Amino acid sequence: MIHRSRALLAWTLSFTFAAAAAPVRADFARVGEHSSELADESVSEIDPAVVPERPKRFEAGAGFLSPGVIRQGIRLPGGAVWQPSLLISGTSRTALQVFDTGEDSLSEIATRLDLYADVLLTGTERFTLGLQPLHRRDDGRFTVFNLNPRRDERGNRRGFEEEANLDVTTAFFEGELAELIPALDPGDYAALDIGFAIGRQYLSIQDGLLINDTLDAIGITRNNLAAPAGGTNLQLTAVFAWDEIHRGNNGFNNREVDDLRLYGLFAAADYARTSINAEFVYVDDTDEDPAKFGGGDGVYWAFSASQRIGLVSSDIHLLGSRALDDESAVLSDGMLLFLQTTTVLPYSEDNLYVNLFWGIDEFTSAARGPEVGGPLGELGILFASLELGRYDTALPNDATQSVGFAIGYQMFLDTFRKQLVFELGGRKGTDNDAAPGAIALAVRYQQAVGSHWELQFDLFGSLVQSDSPGFGSRMELRYAF
């Protein structure tokens, strides 16, 4: 399917935290003293005592990933058998955060809540409804308590700002044609294993570099096609989006634009030594008013390859954007070269990563949500938007005429229930009129608490050429249910 629900991600996190609670270390993952190697011996059995209990959850009908009797279900005219069940999940995030760039500063307590209801019909069919009742996604405003209140346009100091709402942020149905109507191919001989999703759904293409937005869209996917040149598992996906399309690349400036239509064709294939992705997107601005904030028609393309070279895993992305009309603040001609490398250090589970980018001219993404900022969020924690409150990134995450890097060391502690990340990053403009150079250092500590809670601490300091130093610190408590 083209959509991976954040709701199910929350459940996955719950199981991950629960599994990590077991105070044991798997000896079969160790050969001698080199824990990064795989053992030659298989494991004949697993002690049930080390398997944690299934976390409690809000559900009705058949339990999600739980034992029990399989119900008879409801047989539909097309031959499908539905066994409806309801799964309520979500994530609550609250953070105390301080941010200071020299020119602007803030101290606030920010919160957000992501709620999802999944009506699971079969293993491939479901309805999903999502709300974000404590912040407004359309303009990136969050429910916050300002510890140093700012004056609004009327001169009033605003301490508490609430953004309560019941806006529907996710609403889609997904399924597979052969499973939805088995009578079309009782013998399972025809190529009807076609996945589809329709409605308001999250779409991330090229790890969010090309598209990172929630769109009103329909997508159709065909899996397991024969790939050219000896490849396997070719996947083709066609997408059409007609609403909720946001343009722009810098922080909360990503704005919804009416009268846009997005057409996308995405391909992925596996080869012996690499996995290939190629995407093409066309955005049609149907409004002819030249004064409107639309940006005009544009085409976007992307290519990526993921592979392992020796002990190093690498991802390389090459993306481009081109305005078919006049260039604007939200659509310009440009390219982005993006490289990610990581390796597991010997005799440990710790990761060392080195990520690089080169922005040629002014690359712009096809669609970006109001909270996600620019396309460089995948470079590292110094560039990634936290999507909570007004806490900004340590380093700008747009890709305009610049080069940059992020080098990080990720330590895993206490059988993966804790992790500590140190990261050094920087960027420099490649044009005389481009933004000044900057360098920053960040530290992040995360710890699982029980089966549902997670505690996170962030701290960074930055130096900007010909400007004041900046710093930020925050503490976040996250609950996944």
Q: Look at residue 160 and tell me whether its pLDDT is greater than 90.
A: no
Q: Is the dihedral of CA 378, 142, 458, 56 positive or negative?
A: negative
pLDDT for residue 461:
95
Give yes or no for residue 11 having a pLDDT over 50: no
Bridge partners, 453 (sequence order): 449, 479
Q: Check residue 78 and give its pLDDT.
A: 86
What is the tens place of the pLDDT at every residue in 228-250? 888 888 999 999 999 999 987 54
Structural domain that includes position 368: 6-153+160-480
**What's the pLDDT tens digit per position in 308-363?**
999 999 999 999 999 998 887 788 899 999 999 999 998 889 999 999 999 999 99
Specify the DSSP class assigned to residue 34: B
pLDDT at 85 over 70: yes
Q: Has residue 22 got a pLDDT over 90?
A: no
Q: Which residue has the tokens 């343009």?
A: 247
pTM of this structure: 0.85
The per-residue pLDDT for range 257-267, each reduced to its tens digit, is 888 999 999 99
Contact 130, 6 (CB under 8 A): yes
Q: Which of 415, 437, 442 is nearest to 426 (CA)?
A: 437
Q: Confirm whether 1 is domain-assigned.
A: no
Dist CA 463 CA 425 (whole Å): 11
User: Which pLDDT value is given to residue 291?
Assistant: 54
Q: What is the mean pLDDT of residues 292-301?
A: 82
Residue 276's contacts (CB-CB under 8 Å, 6 or more residues apart) are 231, 267, 268, 269, 270, 303, 304, 305
Please write the tens of the pLDDT for every residue from 193-205.
Answer: 899 999 999 999 9
What are the tens digits of pLDDT across the range 395-421?
999 988 999 999 999 999 988 899 999
CA atoms within 13 A on the CB side of 98: 9
CATH number for the domain that contains residue 193: 2.40.160.100
Asked whether the predicted pLDDT for residue 190 surpasses 90, the reply is no
SS3 251: helix
Q: What percent of the chain has pLDDT over 70?
A: 86
**To which residue do tokens 């309560």 refer?**
164
How is residue 440 written in tokens? 């920053």
* Residue 106 lies inside a defined structural domain of this protein: yes
Which of the pair, 83 or 328, is modelled with greater confidence? Answer: 83
Report pLDDT digits (tens) over 362-403: 999 999 998 888 999 999 999 999 999 989 999 999 988 999
pLDDT tens, position by position, 34-58: 455 666 777 667 777 777 777 778 8
Q: Which of 388, 385, 383, 391 is nearest to 473 (CA)?
A: 391
pLDDT value, residue 63:
75
Task: Supply the pLDDT for residue 425.
Answer: 97
Mean pLDDT, rounded, of the chain = 85
Into how many domains does the chain fold?
1
Task: State mean pLDDT over 154-166.
Answer: 76
Least confident of 22-31, 74-83, 420-429: 22-31
Q: Determine, yes or no, domain membership for 372.
A: yes
Which pLDDT value is given to residue 140?
A: 80
E strands within 74-140? Answer: 74-75, 81-82, 85-100, 105-120, 126-131, 135-136
Residue 257, domain member (yes or no): yes
Question: How far apart are alpha carbons 256 and 137 in whole angstroms?
Answer: 10
Amino acid identity of 229?
A
Could you tell me if 338 and 308 are in contact, meaning their C-beta atoms sit under 8 angstroms apart?
A: no
